[in-house]
Amino acid sequence: MTKGYRDLRVWQQAMALAERVYEATKTFPSEERFGLTAQMRRAAVSVPSNIAEGRGRGTDAELIRFCSIAYGSLMELETQAELADRLGFLPQESLDLIVGSCAEVGRMLNALRSSLSTGD
C-alpha cells in the first residue's frame, strides 16, 4: 500500500457524496435537524471517514474491514434518502443523485475490497 487515502478515487467520490447530502438536507424541515438531517449527514460522513481510517491502519485486511463498514453506512444513507423522499423532504432529482452516487461508491468499495482480497 503506497497511496494515501486522498489518492483513492473511492474516497474522493465518497467525499463528493457527503457534500451532496449536506446540500440536499439544507432544505429539510427544521424539526428534522436532530432527526433525519443529522442521521443522513452522519451516515454520509461515515463513508469517507471509514475509508480513510482503514487506509490509515496500514494493512490490506484493515482496509477491507473498514470498507465493509463504509458500505454499511452507504446502505444506511440510501435507506434514509428513500425515507426522506417518502416524507416529501427530498426532491426526486436529489434522491436520484444521492442514490446514483451511493451505487457508484458501493461498486467502487466492492471492487476495492475484491482487489485487496485477491491481491491484485
Flag residues of the chain having pLDDT under 50: 1
> Whole-angstrom Cα distance, residue 42 to residue 112?
23
Please give the C-alpha separations between residue 14 and each of 34, 59, 76, 88, in angstroms, as whole numbers: 23, 21, 14, 25
pTM given for the model: 0.93
In total, the chain counts a number of residues equal to: 120
pLDDT of residue 120: 59
pLDDT of residue 118: 83
> Whole-angstrom Cα distance, residue 60 to residue 39?
29
CATH superfamily of 5-118: 23S rRNA-intervening sequence (1.20.1440.60)
pLDDT of residue 18: 98
pLDDT of residue 87: 96
